[in-house]
Structure 1
């Protein structure tokens, strides 16, 4: 990819920009970013990452790849604005819940649209990126996009029917994990730790656990069993979580997030 046009300047757009700039994927001067409002936000991104602020969506006409990093409720209007400037560019959507068919309809049938759900860790090259592409996207175009995203983390190609589920547990996953860590940090504070000191141990615990799961090729349940000694400390804590229904609450949280992604797709693509 020689030139990128990013529509949207929120946290996901910034995470993506930070990742590709730090990975050296593309010269930051060839990344053009447009935002619906808040010109000062573009100036911040320019100062921090060296990107080029774009005054108009018309700059998308010169791009090889257009990143759609707008909120789901803004997607249809954004695509209509882009429509006059489309030729053979690939459109890569980050929007939760918005189906490829709806995006194609809004652009007058543009064939090169890829739906993806990256998460915030793409900013540090450790993202999880679910991706779905229709048969209208040529394999060479898809390959170039996948190669670019692979520099930002783990890319998994899936059927579009699984995208709402991937959005729920992968896209929203950092938020869910952070929520659990909030509670663990609070418990550590109540046990006498300063928050900053507890956080160092907690963050490293998460990082280390993830590495063990991957390097040892274990399922989470297998690792849990390995570290849970009968009548030990982990056993005592897990018993409390089981009695409080924590496991089922997490399952229901992911299910609800998936349902919400599907609902957003219907709400924000409704015509008329």
Structure 2
């Protein structure tokens, strides 16, 4: 692998840099970063991680991997602007809603396109990253992309048709979970806890539950059944949730999120 060129210097770009540098997957001297206006931000990333500010898009020529870490509505214009500098590089997009076909078209078919959907926990190297690759992406390039992104968390390779659904599951998932945890925190406070103490208990409960599900290889339904004794406390609480239709509401929320992800992709593409 030669240099990595990153277009964009926001939170997601920093998460990527932090992950690959902290895990020593890439020498920071081989990473060049460019953003549209804020030169101070590039200097900040240089001081924090040892990466280099790029002078222009022309430096894409030196890279074997190009990361698109910009707003979705800027992606296709950026691809057109860098098309003259592309010659088979792996082009990894973090942009929600922008299809592989749209990126290929905008970049003149000069790159091997990988589309991803990372979520917020990549900031602490515990993310879930959905990944889909164009049919012409070589096995070597795909392995390389998976290796790089795995420094940020769990990478799940899938067909592109599932990316909008992944946006609802893992992309919006932290928001849905936090909404539920807000309610649990509110209830804990009403039961007499301070918000701080309630939060400590709730967060550790979430972490511990996730570890049990993974290490014991259980489905959520199986674990729920294990902790629900007949006529016990969990049973009493779950009866209220079932009576209020909470499970179906969550299903409907995720379906709506997936539909919106698809709509957003169409909106961004039409802007071109």
Please confirm whether the aligned pair reaches a TM-score higher than 0.5, indicating the same fold. Answer: yes
Shift of 1:245: 2.2
Shift of 1:264: 1.3
Q: Which residue number corresponds to residue 42 of structure 1? A: 42
Map 1:209-248; keep pairs closer than 5 Å: 209-248=209-248
Counterpart-to-counterpart distance in 1, 2:213 and 2:112: 36
Q: Which residue number corresponds to residue 32 of structure 1? A: 32
Q: TM-score under structure 1 normalisation?
A: 0.93
Greater mean alpha carbon deviation, residues 164-173 or residues 122-131: 122-131
Counterpart-to-counterpart distance in 2, 1:28 and 1:193: 46
Secondary structure of the 2:270 match is: coil
Counterpart-to-counterpart distance in 1, 2:202 and 2:37: 38
Q: Which residue number corresponds to residue 195 of structure 2? A: 195
Indicate how the Cα distance of structure 1 residues 167 and 189 shifts in structure 2: closer, same or farther if over 3 A, else same: same
Q: Which residue number corresponds to residue 265 of structure 1? A: 265
Shift of 1:123: 3.1
- 1:164-192 CA-partner distances (Å, limit 9, x unpaired): 10111112212221222222222222323
Q: Which stretches of structure 1, 4 residues or more, deviate above 4 A after TM superposition?
A: none
Q: TM-score under structure 2 normalisation?
A: 0.93
Counterpart-to-counterpart distance in 2, 1:84 and 1:64: 15
- 1:72-108 CA-partner distances (Å, limit 9, x unpaired): 1111111112212111210001111111011001011
Secondary structure of the 1:251 match is: helix
Counterpart-to-counterpart distance in 2, 1:110 and 1:240: 56
Shift of 1:21: 1.7
Conservation of the 8 A alpha-carbon contact between 2:129 and 2:154: yes
**Which runs of no fewer than 5 residues in structure 1 stay unpaired?**
none
Secondary structure of the 1:32 match is: strand
Secondary structure of the 1:163 match is: helix
